[in-house]
Amino acid sequence: MAINTTALIATHVINTMPTLPTGVSGAMMDIVEMAKSDVENYTGDSIDSNNVDSAYRSAIISFAKAHVVDHLQTHGNGTSQSIEGLSIGDYNLGLTAQDFRNEALEKLKFIGRHVKFDRSLS
């Protein structure tokens, strides 16, 4: 199945992080939209929520996972979370979120960014 919409990305993230509390999984569309916005802000490109280009998908997923882990850390209940097959306690969630964020940033470097320069004659 192609993961080419933000709704399918949200479903993918929920399926790869199956022990998410209802509050997090219920907000997954908003979390994925924030991740999409992060990618748009970096690249300068506009990304259609109903047709996410394959170049952006991996970075959006990694940013979404970082946002989810941040939420788990903020609203942690002292229990371990299962993230991509690993059992992680609340005390390691900050490191895990940073790992996902670093992964996303590395992926964005391959995409590149559109930079616009203006020249002033004075």
The pLDDT assigned to 49 comes to 93
Tell me, yes or no, whether 1 lies in a domain: no
Task: Round the average pLDDT of the chain to a whole number and report it.
Answer: 80
- Our count of domains for the chain comes to 1
Residue 104 has pLDDT above 80, yes or no: yes
Residue 72 has pLDDT above 80, yes or no: no
Tell me, yes or no, whether 121 lies in a domain: no
Tell me, yes or no, whether 118 lies in a domain: no
Domain that holds residue 31: 6-111
Tell me, yes or no, whether 120 lies in a domain: no
Tell me, yes or no, whether 58 lies in a domain: yes
The pLDDT assigned to 32 comes to 94
Q: Each residue of 57-96: b (16+ CB within 10 Å) or e?
A: bbbbbbbbbbbbbbbbbeeeeeeebebeeeebeeebbeeb
Residue 107 has pLDDT above 90, yes or no: no
Tell me, yes or no, whether 24 lies in a domain: yes
Tell me, yes or no, whether 54 lies in a domain: yes
Output the CA torsion sign for 34, 38, 39, 41. Answer: positive
Question: What is the helix (H) or strand (E) element at residue 66, kind and residue range?
Answer: helix 54-74
